[in-house]
Structure 1
Amino acid sequence: MTTNTLDTLHDVRVLRCAPEGPALDGEGAALDLIGDAMGQDAELVVVPVERVADEFFRLRSGVAGAVVQKFANYRLRLAVVGDISRHVDASDALRDFVYESNQGRQLWFVTGYEDLDEKLRR
């Protein structure tokens, strides 16, 4: 089993989640990640898209809203790293959600770690 790692990128403590592990599929999984992040004093949790449940990308399910709200309540940021194009292509609402999220600081969707590095550099 691969473990999560803590990095510092541009003075931000980042908990980088391993690709293997429980799916980010609701509030319980979010709280587990939040606990890990707080235990390591991280400010940003980075989850590879392989760990994000399909329900998260179906906005009607409410999973994304519940997860993001939990992270906001604990003043932690969340980034999803990887290719989500198949989900975005299937939903105008998701495309808008991703666009709006990427304009803020609470939730980011980035294609790779280089993009994350660039967002944190700004």
Structure 2
Amino acid sequence: MTAEGNSPMTEVLHRFADVPVLVCATEGAPIASEGDATDLIGAAFGHGAHWVAVPAERFGADFFRLRTRLAGAIVQKFATYRVGLAVVGDISHHTAEGTALADFVRESNRGSQLWFVPDVEALRERLDATS
């Protein structure tokens, strides 16, 4: 767990189906670059987490615009370090803008590296089903 001064916890380690998952709070630094992804991966390693669950609100609009390639760069960073990434929350307003993101979400959810889930409970259920 991370706390600085009296600031709220921004990361909490949970175990879902015996998988350590670092669950990030909605409040916290935006994930807007590969460097931000590296910081999250470092936090995951520090907590012994195999997955990181990040609220969708923490990602800037560029993450959801595939033409910027930011999502690909962030996902690749997580894949390189073998840490799963779950984007948690409603992203329907992003997927409604075109088919590319909806296709990306669908394909990602078929894999084992990046999942888009509506809430942390859905992540828990998914990890339960894969263990």
Q: TM-score, normalised by structure 2?
A: 0.91
Which one-letter code corresponds to 1:90 in the other structure?
A: E
Q: 2-side partners of 1:2 and 1:71: how far apart?
A: 25
Question: Structure 2, unaligned stretches of length 5 or more?
Answer: 1-6
Instruction: Please state if 1:107 is matched with 2:109.
Output: no
Count of matched residue positions in the alignment of Structure 1 and Structure 2 = 122
Post-superposition CA distance 1:34-87 (Å, at most 9, x none): 010001110000001111111000000011000000000000000000000000
Residue 89 of structure 1 and its aligned partner are, at CA, apart by 0.6
Residue 26 of structure 1 and its aligned partner are, at CA, apart by 1.4
Instruction: Please state if 1:31 is matched with 2:34.
Output: no
Residue of structure 2 in register with 1:2 after alignment: 8
User: What SS does the aligned partner of 1:20 have?
Assistant: coil
Residue of structure 1 in register with 2:65 after alignment: 58
Percent identity between the two aligned chains:
54
Q: 2-side partners of 1:113 and 1:13: how far apart?
A: 13
RMSD over aligned Cα atoms? 0.7
Q: TM-score, normalised by structure 1?
A: 0.97
Contact 2:53-2:120 at 8 Å conserved across structures: no
Q: 2-side partners of 1:76 and 1:107: how far apart?
A: 9
Residue 96 of structure 1 and its aligned partner are, at CA, apart by 0.3
Q: 1-side partners of 2:99 and 2:78: how far apart?
A: 24
